[in-house]
Amino acid sequence: MTNTLRDSPAISNPVPVTGKAPGRFVGKGTSILAGLLSLLSIWVVWEIARLWGGRLPSLAETLARLGTEWAGNEIWINFAVSINRFVLGLVLALVVGAILGVAIGLSKFAEAALSDLTMVGLAAPAVIWALLTTMWFGFGWLTPVVTVFLSGLPFVVVNIAKAVRAVPGDLILMARAFEVPRVRGLSQIIAPAVAGSAIAAVRFAVISAWNGLLLAEWFGSTSGVGWRSRYWYDANQMDGFLAWVLLFMAFLVLVDQILLAPIERRATRWRRV
């Protein structure tokens, strides 16, 4: 059994140990300008693709379709269904992934038993999990939930395991020498050390799991964001399909930048002291 997990690079965004925070000198005006330029570039690429292919609807037509979906309450209904499935599968992935990651980081036996299996999970794309769960469970709520769980789990395991291994061995030995209870050691030594990597794991798990949710609902559901995207795709209405794709991606970006990124910066602020 090879220790591929030990030798693989951590899937996280490294933060400089010293120096100022990367964005500390970037003013609000610069951030707003960067955001506007980003939106402008998306529009330019969209228009080039529309003129080049001749079948792509304009951005205005796509947004108009999105407004129609909003007025018909389709967005709220399907997003509510998808969010419920997503949160359930993600919470399961985070809990199970944290337990397995700590076990792999602390135990050679757990590493030998689970490292290769975890790497297989990392290598499998979300579309594979979506197809497999559809064949296993058919149409229903279990298919997207299990797909979210399987898509996000490996990222949590790898990041947590790497962070646990990075904890200084002297601290663990000292805790054992002073007979510190295991629960207290995990909460006061392991948990603070892996906080930053845990947030990074959540970010990667959210991205992969959200993509898995879309695919699972596309192939094996009759409700949700993925199902509504396929509804317009099957109807050969490109504006409706792209409207839901835009909504899907915008939600993911907003969650990552507004919620997860600030939490990660706060959890790792001690590294920049």
Specify the pLDDT at position 187: 61
The DSSP H or E segment spanning 110 is helix 108-123
Cα atoms in the Cβ-side hemisphere of radius 13 Å centred on 25:
3
- The sign one gets for the Cα dihedral 205, 208, 214, 218 is negative
Give alpha helix (H) positions in 140-237: 142-165, 169-177, 182-185, 191-220, 225-234
Question: In this predicted model, what pLDDT tens digit does every residue of 253-266 receive, in sequence order?
Answer: 888 778 777 777 77
Quick one: how many helices (H) and strands (E) in the chain?
13, 0
pLDDT at 13 over 50: no
Backbone dihedral region of 224: left (phi > 0), alpha (psi from -120 to 50 degrees) or beta?
Answer: left
State how far the Cα of 79 lies from the Cα of 223, in Å rounded to an integer.
9
This model's pTM is above 0.75: no
| AA identity, residue 52 | W
pLDDT at 184 over 80: no
User: pLDDT band at residue 83, thresholds of 50, 70 and 90?
Assistant: very high
Question: Average pLDDT of 233-239?
Answer: 88
pLDDT at 47 over 50: yes
Question: Average pLDDT of 110-136?
Answer: 87
Note the Cα 75 to chain centre separation in Å.
21
Specify the pLDDT at position 146: 93
Mean pLDDT, the chain, integer: 78
Specify the pLDDT at position 259: 78
